[in-house]
Amino acid sequence: MTAVRVVEPSEAPEEKPEVLAPPPDIITTPCDPWPRPYYLEDGLRKVRPYHFTYNTYCKQRWRGRELLDIFATEFRDRPQEYYKDAIECGNVVVNGQKVPSVREVVKNGDVISHTLHRHEPPVTAQPIGIVHEDDDMIVINKPAGVPVHPAGRYNYNSIVEIMRAERGHGWNPLPCNRLDRLTSGVMFIGKHPKAAEKLTDQIMARTVKKEYVARVIGEFPEGDMMCDQPVMQISPKLGLNRARASGKDARTIFKRMAYYPPKPTANGVETEADDDHSEKEKIRDSGMAWKSKRGYSIVRCLPLTGRTHQLRVHLQFLGHPISNDPIYCNQRVFGPSLAAGDALSDDDEDIISKLSRMGKSEIAEAMDYHDQMMKEYNKRKAEKMTGERCDICDTPLYSDPGTHELGIYLHARRYACQDGKWDYETPLPEWALPPPGINGPTVTAETDPMALLDGDGRPTVTTEGYSSNRAHKNPKPSKLKPLWTMPG
């Protein structure tokens, strides 16, 4: 018989965790210019180029890969030849040391540093509006086209850094809600962590009522409409989302404020603002449903959930995308139908591929196609490469962006506490006001989106004719009826 010895816990061999080497002395940014190198020109806030160092620990997916391969595949800001030269000349280093070869293999715990001459894109020179300020919080009217946090090509041209530059180097603004770079409107900036945490908790608990305003292509249906199509992120890298049955719960109530048809001509015939297309182009366009939608609508959007790009995706799904949305109103990416009513197709990889290939030299064909207020759109320059290069770092230079690139027609107009303790709103943006010489609403009426839901927080719908559709129209506040049946 073999004796079995029981090992007491105190005698068991100790399992030692993996011990990594202490972090190296990471290269620091060569300068932290103060005052920030801003200057205003042609209605834009610009930043003079400056040297900057990015530092990042090796990500899990980078382990065992060559340094140049990581830069060439993970970063799209510059061509591969630039990264090759940067590694060879020591502008890209690992653990503070120049590597012997671009084929250096990166391992867990490595710190990669990249020092470069940074060129930030310009943003609008429109000042950040102050809606309210007290000892705890600043409520601002964020201009369109300005990112909230430093990210990607933007650093000093961000809400956080612009406000820091205005109030002092040591001041630390704490954003409490999210707005996309292209979106304008109400934002909350905490003055101290406790205030920021309190408001963030309210927003996360869905006890804050939100109202947005959008300008969409075509004649949006009248009445209250619920869209509860789930939203799924299909590409984190590109920030692309789609309506998908397997996505996360997402609900929005829409209500049309106004519809503005195409401007009549002298003989009374309605035409598009810029209808100088050839017969060949008209035949091509006849197969594109979105191009047959005439005029535009101003729509109130009352989100009941807060998914990324929720309003943009829901409006696209309903067949009325935001008219100058460079992603969700882009025929080159989504095809002739612009993915209206599409929650079942399996073309996500194709969509991702098309969007990732789009460069600064391309302009979304769908952008402002129907907008008579911008009939010269196709004649305006977009932000694109000029063919010139920086004298210091040889980086290709871009032209200034056109006004159509600084934002989209989506504005966070109002945030209000559900129990009535606070309520902040902004005026309607200029693009939501009636065109010159035409009567239309200049303010929005009070609407409580919660009144359209039952006790479980779901839309109140009739069952007659209902067939798994995710869009409902409500001619009366008490009932939401089907608008149409989703294909498939």
Q: Which residues are catalytic?
A: 180
Q: Which of 66, 75, 71, 54 is nearest to 107 (CA)?
A: 66
Are 442 and 217 in contact by the 8 Å Cβ rule? The answer is no
C-beta atoms surrounding 275 within 10 Å: 10
CA 448, distance to chain mean position in Å, is: 26
CA 151, distance to chain mean position in Å, is: 12
Residue 287 C-beta-side C-alpha neighbours within 13 Å: 6
Computed over its alpha carbons, how large is the radius of gyration of the chain? Answer: 26
Q: Which of 137, 130, 149 is nearest to 199 (CA)?
A: 137
Q: Which of 146, 214, 217 is nearest to 182 (CA)?
A: 146
**What backbone phi and psi angles, to 5 degrees, belong to 4?**
-110, 120
**What backbone phi and psi angles, to 5 degrees, belong to 115?**
-100, 130
Return the residue matching tokens 């061509």: 79
Bridging pattern class, strands 252-260 and 479-482: unpaired
DSSP bridge pairs for 93: 113
Are 220 and 301 in contact by the 8 Å Cβ rule? The answer is no
